[in-house]
Structure 1
């Protein structure tokens, strides 16, 4: 994995967001993280389009241990690693005190564990929660 220089911008218009790029396994990866009024949205693309769109949220309930629901809204439904990526991110968001859901868009050339771990790590390093 080769992560290049990350450039970030944080602006309040129209919503707080960060945009940066990094190189993962030879693929330039563009990432946008935004915080909306009712959810977080993360777009990570190596192909210049949205790709698979997932929705992840913490389930409200009486259980001491939280549960999370991840569903594919649009795109590849047979890619368990994409679901795992969304689950890792919503768990991280939740354990840092936010109950807002996540909309995650992954337009990737490479769906390997290494690529998805690099994306999760970069998003966590540049989080808006």
Structure 2
């Protein structure tokens, strides 16, 4: 396998994506949103690494009210506000008419409600759905 180490030869990432840096409660926050065929991957980091990874989806049901499933794939399982952030984003994705699932990575310096509200707001402002 050959690895290209020449920085002058850049290749376009084959998945539609958006990268932004925003300030959330005084912390530089990098956000990458990728749109795959059946899911969105959203990476939010203030610490330069992935952090807790969550999976969220709309449950298929016959009821009139939609239900959503959110679970932790990797990382902090005792942080209910991380689950709430993922749920808010999947509800937003669903309400826009998309049926894609969400894989969300949150590498944050703190998990206070105002930080997570800022993260959810920044992601929805820069959405790809």
TM-score by length of 1: 0.89
Aligned match of 1:105: 105
Aligned match of 2:94: 94
CA distance in 1: counterparts of 2:125 and 2:101, whole angstroms? 19
CA distance in 1: counterparts of 2:13 and 2:107, whole angstroms? 25
CA distance in 1: counterparts of 2:33 and 2:117, whole angstroms? 16
Structure 1 residue 104 displacement after superposition: 0.1
Structure 1 residue 100 displacement after superposition: 0.7
Q: What number of residue pairs does the alignment pair up?
A: 118
Consecutive unaligned residues in structure 1, runs of 5 or more:
1-11
- Residue by residue, what CA displacement relative to the aligned partner does 1:9-39 show, whole Å, maximum 9, x if unpaired? xxx8411111001112221110001100110
Runs of 4+ in 1 over 3 A off after TM superposition: none
**Is the contact between residue 53 and residue 72 of structure 2 (CA under 8 Å) also seen in structure 1?**
yes
- Residue by residue, what CA displacement relative to the aligned partner does 1:42-64 show, whole Å, maximum 9, x if unpaired? 00001100000000000001011
Matched, 1:84 2:84: yes
CA distance in 2: counterparts of 1:42 and 1:90, whole angstroms? 11
Consecutive unaligned residues in structure 2, runs of 5 or more:
1-11
Structure 1 counterpart SS, 2:128: coil
- Residue by residue, what CA displacement relative to the aligned partner does 1:78-115 show, whole Å, maximum 9, x if unpaired? 00000000000000000000011000000001111111
**What is the root-mean-square deviation of aligned Cα atoms in Å?**
1.0
Matched, 1:117 2:117: yes
